[in-house]
Amino acid sequence: MSGGLNLMLVGAPGSGKGTQAKRLVEKYNMPQLSTGDILRQAIKDQTALGIQAKEFMDAGKLVPDELIMGLIEERFGHADYQNGWILDGFPRTMPQAEGLSALLDRTGKKLKHVILLDVPGEAIVERIVGRRSCPACGNVHHVRFSPPKSEGICDACGGALVQRSDDTEEKVRVRFGQYESETASVIPYFEPLGIVASVDGQQSADEVFAAITGILEG
């Protein structure tokens, strides 16, 4: 595929964004831009913006949108971002969507696709609440969709499987509510551009990936 495939993946927690982003990175050889990752890297590298971000985080405050935009603009200047990129989990709010549009205009870049992984709330709850992970090796099972051969035991290493503390039903419903009230509202912002496409996220990972690549290459 020719260069400049700039896309944004949108979906609730547990919708499969991470899985699909990883596959897209491998297929199209372009970087995934996660604001969490670039924040951590900037802090590790002790860049000017990274030092500022750390001060906010150390004080228990949210990193301002302007600082996040600065980090993204920095990253856009890297050589590996010239042939396209995948925005994962950003923008989350309307001010961030507006800030991203201004940044793209300023840097001469264009968002080509906004892919929404559509999964109903109840399915999200079932997906996340049923997850069991192995602290020893990182392997993940699901009590319904991919149960271990022996209950509570990791197939990969034999370690004890646990439910993450933030994977309880109460916390998942709070996270989904936040997604619906904030992130889902950014979709209409991009719809007038004719670049938004919805994919049924309840299909298998292979079917979802085929649908996404069909949109990108169609």
**Residues taking part in catalysis:** 17, 92, 131, 164, 175
How many Å apart are CA 106 and CA 87, to the nearest integer? 17
DSSP state of 93: S
Main-chain dihedrals φ then ψ at residue 153, nearest 5 degrees: -120, 130
Half-sphere exposure of 206 (CA within 13 A, CB side): 0
Answer yes or no: are the C-beta atoms of 195 and 218 closer than 8 Å: no
For 62, 80, 98, the CA distances from 216, given in Å and listed in that order, are 34, 20, 24
Answer yes or no: are the C-beta atoms of 1 and 216 closer than 8 Å: yes
Main-chain dihedrals φ then ψ at residue 196, nearest 5 degrees: -90, 130
